[in-house]
Structures are given as C-alpha cells and as structure tokens.
C-alpha cells in the first residue's frame, strides 16, 4: 500500500494531476486556490512538463483550449471569480469536445465576495455558466483523499467523453491538511486522432466551434446531447448513510456532507431517524438514487453553503412529493451542532 | 521561362468567401506559400480568429483551430507549449487583435512566446459591417463613427507594431502592405522572416499587413488600394520595427 502522507488539499490536487500524467497546466493566482499553481510551478518542470502563469483566467482557459486541441492532458485551477472569467472559454471547449480538467476551489461571492469556503457556484457549473447548450461533469469531493481520487478520475472521464470535468471544491478543502495515499501513477497515453498535432501522413485536423448552416448547428447540438445522455446513463455517483429508514433526509455535498454526517449521527443518538444522501456527481445529478433514498422521508433538508442552489435539483429529484427545506450558512462551513438543531426542529410539531 | 499560377498545396480548393477587392485572399496565399516553401505543411498548426479571418482553417491545407474572439495568441500559446518544434501562427484582424485581444497579444509578446501573429489591419471591423476599430484613422467614417472618428470622442489610431517593438520578448516585428506587386513580395519576405525567427526559437514575431476593405470603405478596389498606399501608410509607416539581434542565427535574412 502507498505511503500515508500529510498534505494540503490544493497541493494534493496538483500532485494528483502529475500522477494522472498531466504535463501541462495554465493558471492564474487567486485565493484560496493558489497552492495548486505553486505546486505545479515547482513540480511540472521536474517532470518535463510545462507550467504557464497566464495574464488572466481568460487567457488561461484559452491556453487550455489550445493545449487540449493539440492532444495534451491539461488542467487549470481557479476560484469563483476566476471561474466566471473562464466561462467563455468553457463554452468553446465544450462545443469543440475537448477533454480538460478545471478545478474550482470556491470562495465567497457574489462579486469579490470573500475568501471563505463557499458552494455558491452550483448554478454556474451544474446548470451552465457560459453561453449555449452544453453540460460539464461536476465532481464534488469531500476530503483531501477525494481531491486526489477525483482529480485522477476527472482526467479519465474527460477523455472518455471528450468533455470538461470540474473538480468542485471549496476554500476549506483546498486549505486543509489530511493524511492521504496516492494511487499508482498513470503512464498510458490516450489516442487522440482528432488533435491538431501537425498533419504528418493524414489530412488536416480542424478544431472549431462555428456551424453557420442552421442544420449543421442543430446536428452538432443533438450530437452533444446524445453524449450527455450517455454520461447521465453511466456516471451518476452518490453515497448514502443511514437512509433506509430515514424520516428526515439530509442532502449535502462536498465539505458540508462531512459536517452533515456528524449531525445525522447526533440525531440518531437522540432517537431521530435522520439520514444523509450525498451527491458525488452534481452533474449528472443522482436523481433516481435520491428519490429512492427519500422513500420513507417526511422532510428533506438541503444543506449547502449557498442561498439555495442544489435545492432545486433536490426538489426535481423527489418531484416535490415531500417538503424540502433549506439549511444554509454563508461564509463558513456550518457546525454539526447547528445542522443537528435544524434536524431537531423538524421533529417539533 | 514561363511562369503560371500554381496553387500551393497548402491551400484547399474551398472558394474564398471574401468580397471583391479584399486583400485577405492575397495574404492567405502568401502564408500558404511560405509554409509550403519552408517544407512545413505537416508541421504547421494555424490558429484563426473571429471576423473576416474566421474561415482561415477552411482555406489552409494544414491543421487549424478556430478560437474565440481575440484569444488566438493564448490558444497558440497552449499549442506551442505542447508542440514546441511545430510552426504555430495566428491569423487575426485588427478588431480581433487590437481591441478584444489586446491582453493576449501583449502578454504573448511579453513572454517571448515562440509564435507568429499575422495581423491584417484594414482599420475597421469588416465581418460585422464596418464598425470603428482601435485602428480606424482619424476622420475615417465607419458605421459607428458616421461623421468620422474624432480624437475627442474615440481617441487615436492604435499602433501595434510600435508598441510591441518595445517588448524584450518580441524578436521580429514588421509592418507591410499588399497594395502593389512589390509590396506583396515584401510582405511574403516578412512572413518568411517571421516564420524563420520562430523556427529558430528566437521568440515572438508579428507581421502587420495593411489591407484594403473596399466594401466597408465605400470605395472600388483601386480606390481602396490607393487609400492604403496614401492614407494608411502615413499613419502606419511600413518597415521592420524589430529584427533579431543576431540575424545570422535566424536563417536567411
């Protein structure tokens, strides 16, 4: 078994990218994500890779576009305001069907917001963000170990489906240290016959996103959504804790799901039948699994560090059969005690 | 010896979409001829733009990428970092490069990114129907400066070569035009120098080419070429603004 090492979340992401055989990174400093850049600025040259500190997130994502179009495994990382700047490039990369991994270590917002942990970019990454019809796979890790595992998974999924995969973290996950084990390094290269590598022995490869004839654009969008349907069929991920008999079902993801799990344990100690459903993929959202987990629930609580964004997918998943309430804090990760208090209140009539 | 028109293998058979009298076709061909003559067809990745140059990937018979508006130098940076031994050039107009893409242009030069920008300056936004660009001449009428550009309302024409020549990372910077055959030949030589500069690993290179837009200037093609020769070159002087400090290392200067 691999050695147990103590590592900060952001550095773990950077090291996981190297283990995943990613040799190209383009980024821009922003708190609370900057250690991803710093780690890769040091490590990529050691591995024969290339690190470029771009002049903006707009440029960084377009460097990702060029590197991915040219056949490289590539990643960028930022935090909420920087991810906003990347939305144009994200739309182009999605349309051009290029694999890429984007890390969002979310911070307080809107505007400049703050540097506190946040989950308020759910709508941006899960529902869209850039212009047009496209989807991104969104993975929501809840520990430093999962930052590593999901980063490695992200490269695999991005190439399998030729899509962007977002690592959806937050300021606490990025900044905290936990003991982790790194998986074996990936060394295999994925064949990319479509890449612009110089046309030795073949005709020109063109990577573009312009479809002026209406029928070509329509065909392109239907093609993209056939791919997204395949992702929805195969890639929904979630985990459950004490949901079998749960009368109060809590839904939360990422760092918040760990606190919520502690609150569920407190509730059980107090004789309350609470359970936790944790989406791991936010898109595709694990709707059937959630609906099934809520089969005995009388109340559902969506616990998130936002003003209520995932709650819309929760309501859709359970088809509004059951009252859905929001527990939220802004600018901090809630304590188990305050989530337990929210659970306890639901038992009062 | 008979000389006839022979289309370079680096151009496809796709017909130009350009307006009559437009210089884009000439400039596309010059880029294609230089790629062919340098034997780099299978080693070249072209990065297009948004505007009248948007379909360059349909015309060039080598690998190509269609980026978003103004971002071509960033996209080309990504390509070049993956393929440092390949010829990577962007093909951008003045709206794309000198307005929305200013940041990407300046910082690719600052980094000394080993790419080439082919910058086609026709002093307005052509594809969207002739709006003012940063390069529009003072007094020039466009659809958004209907009484002519004034410095009070919209400032002064932007001189890209002069600006980029101040960058230590820029190795070769030149401004040319294609208003007569002699200028066409000079432009081809400048493109070749820029590509050779890149292949020698000397750093960032750019060739700005003054180009006619009869449609949006409201002129016939001959009037438009005369306007380039007489009025545009007065504001945008032709010549080499920066050459590699050690020309012998850059090939056939």
Question: What does the pLDDT read at residue B253?
Answer: 40
Of the candidates B12, B60, B81, the beta carbon closest to that of A67 is on B81
A262 touches chain B (CB under 8 A): no
Chain A CA closest to residue B10: A204
Q: In sequence order, what are the residues at sequence separation of 6 or more whose Cβ sits closer than 8 angstroms to the Cβ of residue B171?
A: B112, B197, B202, B203, B204, B205, B242, B243, B244, B250
B57 touches chain A (CB under 8 A): yes
Q: In Å, how far is A89's CA from the nearest CA of chain B?
A: 8
Chain A CA closest to residue B80: A67
What is the Cα A201 distance to its own chain's centre?
Answer: 39
| Residue that has been written with the tokens 């709006």 in this structure | B131
Confidence of residue B246 (pLDDT cuts 50, 70, 90): low
Among B69, B82, B101, which would you mutate to test the A interface (most chain A Cβ atoms within 10 Å of its Cβ)?
B82
| Residue that has been written with the tokens 């920066």 in this structure | B242
Q: How far apart are CA B110 and CA A204, in angstroms?
A: 31
Q: How far apart are CA A41 and CA A54, in angstroms?
A: 12
Q: In sequence order, what are the residues at sequence separation of 6 or more whose Cβ sits closer than 8 angstroms to the Cβ of residue B195?
A: B34, B35, B38, B40, B87, B89, B116, B205
Per-residue pLDDT of B17-32, as tens digits, reads 999 999 999 999 999 9
Confidence of residue B251 (pLDDT cuts 50, 70, 90): very low
Of the candidates A24, A62, A204, the beta carbon closest to that of B82 is on A24
CA geometry: angle B5, B189, B137, nearest 5 deg = 100
Q: In sequence order, what are the residues at sequence separation of 6 or more whose Cβ sits closer than 8 angstroms to the Cβ of residue B66?
A: A206, A207, A208, A209, A210, B48, B54, B57
Of the candidates A70, A88, A205, the beta carbon closest to that of B68 is on A88
Q: How far apart are CA A105 and CA A144, in angstroms?
A: 12
Q: What are the pLDDT tens digits along chain A (349 aa)?
A: 789 999 999 999 999 999 999 999 999 999 999 999 999 999 999 999 999 999 999 999 999 999 999 999 999 999 999 999 999 999 999 999 999 999 999 999 999 999 999 999 999 999 999 999 999 999 999 999 999 999 999 999 999 999 999 999 999 999 999 999 999 999 877 899 999 999 989 999 999 999 999 999 999 999 999 999 999 999 999 999 999 999 999 999 999 999 999 999 999 999 999 999 999 999 999 999 999 999 999 999 999 999 999 999 999 999 999 999 999 999 999 999 999 999 999 998 6
| Average pLDDT of span B130-155 | 97
Per-residue pLDDT of B205-242, as tens digits, reads 999 999 999 999 999 999 999 999 999 999 999 999 99
Q: Which of residues 18-47 of B touch A (CB under 8 A)?
A: 41-45, 47
Of the candidates B43, B65, B103, the beta carbon closest to that of A55 is on B103
A88 touches chain B (CB under 8 A): yes
Per-residue pLDDT of B53-103, as tens digits, reads 999 999 999 999 999 999 999 999 999 999 999 999 999 999 999 999 999
Q: Under an 8 A CB cutoff, do B83 and A197 touch?
A: yes
Looking at this predicted complex, what is its ipTM? 0.96
């Amino acid at each position: 078994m691999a050695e147990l090492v103590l590592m900060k979340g952001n550095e773990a992401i950077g090291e996981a990218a190297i283990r995943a055989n990613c040799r190209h990174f383009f980024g821009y400093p922003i708190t609370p994500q900057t250690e991803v850049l710093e780690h890769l600025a040091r490590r990529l040259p050691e591995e024969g890779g290339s690190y470029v500190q771009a002049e903006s997130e707009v440029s960084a994502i377009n460097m990702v576009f060029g590197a991915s179009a040219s056949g490289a495994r590539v990643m960028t990382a930022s935090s909420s305001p920087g991810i906003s700047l990347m939305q144009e490039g994200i739309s182009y990369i999605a349309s051009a069907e290029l694999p890429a991994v984007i890390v969002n270590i979310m911070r307080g917002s809107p505007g400049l917001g703050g540097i506190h942990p946040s989950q308020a970019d759910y709508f941006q990454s899960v529902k869209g963000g850039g212009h047009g019809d496209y989807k991104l796979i969104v993975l929501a890790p809840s520990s430093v170990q999962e930052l590593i595992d999901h980063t490695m998974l992200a490269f695999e999924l991005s190439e399998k489906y030729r899509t962007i995969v977002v690592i959806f973290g937050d300021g606490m996950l990025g900044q905290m240290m936990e003991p982790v084990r790194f998986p074996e390094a990936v060394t295999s290269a994925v064949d990319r016959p479509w890449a612009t590598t110089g046309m030795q022995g073949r005709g020109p490869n063109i990577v573009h996103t312009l479809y002026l004839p209406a029928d070509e654009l329509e065909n392109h969008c239907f093609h993209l959504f056939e791919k997204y349907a395949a992702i929805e069929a195969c890639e929904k991920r979630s985990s459950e804790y004490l949901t079998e008999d749960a009368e109060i079902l809590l839904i939360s993801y990422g760092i918040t799901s760990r606190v919520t799990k502690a609150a569920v344990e407190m509730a059980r100690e107090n004789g309350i039948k609470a359970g936790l459903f944790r989406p791991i993929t936010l898109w595709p959202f694990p709707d059937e699994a959630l609906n099934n987990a809520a089969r005995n629930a009388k109340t559902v609580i969506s616990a998130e560090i936002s003003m209520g964004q995932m709650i819309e997918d929760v309501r859709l998943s359970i088809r509004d059969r059951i009252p859905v309430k929001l527990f939220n804090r802004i600018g901090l990760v809630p304590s188990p005690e305050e989530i337990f208090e929210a659970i306890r209140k639901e038992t009062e009539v | 010896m008979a000389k006839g028109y022979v289309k370079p293998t680096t151009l496809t058979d796709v017909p130009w979409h350009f307006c009559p009298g437009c210089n884009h076709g000439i400039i596309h061909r010059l880029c294609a001829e230089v790629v062919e003559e340098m034997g780099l067809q299978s080693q070249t990745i072209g990065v297009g733009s948004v505007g009248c140059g948007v379909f360059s990937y349909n015309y060039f018979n080598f690998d190509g990428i269609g980026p978003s508006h103004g971002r071509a130098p960033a996209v080309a940076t990504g390509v070049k970092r993956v393929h440092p031994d390949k010829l990577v050039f962007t093909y951008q107009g003045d709206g794309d490069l000198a307005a929305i893409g200013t940041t990407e242009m300046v910082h690719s030069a600052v980094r000394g990114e080993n790419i080439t920008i082919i910058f086609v300056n026709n002093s307005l936004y052509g594809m969207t129907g002739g709006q003012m660009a940063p390069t529009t001449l003072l007094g020039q009428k466009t659809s958004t400066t209907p009484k002519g550009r004034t410095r009070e309302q919209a400032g002064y024409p932007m001189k890209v070569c002069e600006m980029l020549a101040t960058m230590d990372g820029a190795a070769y910077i030149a401004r040319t035009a294609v208003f007569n055959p002699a200028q066409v030949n000079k432009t081809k030589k400048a493109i070749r120098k820029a590509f050779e500069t890149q292949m020698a690993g000397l750093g960032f290179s750019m060739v700005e080419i003054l180009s006619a837009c009869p449609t949006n200037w409201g002129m016939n093609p001959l009037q438009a070429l005369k306007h380039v020769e007489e009025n545009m070159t007065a504001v945008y002087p032709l010549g080499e603004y920066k050459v590699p400090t050690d020309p012998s290392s850059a090939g056939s200067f």
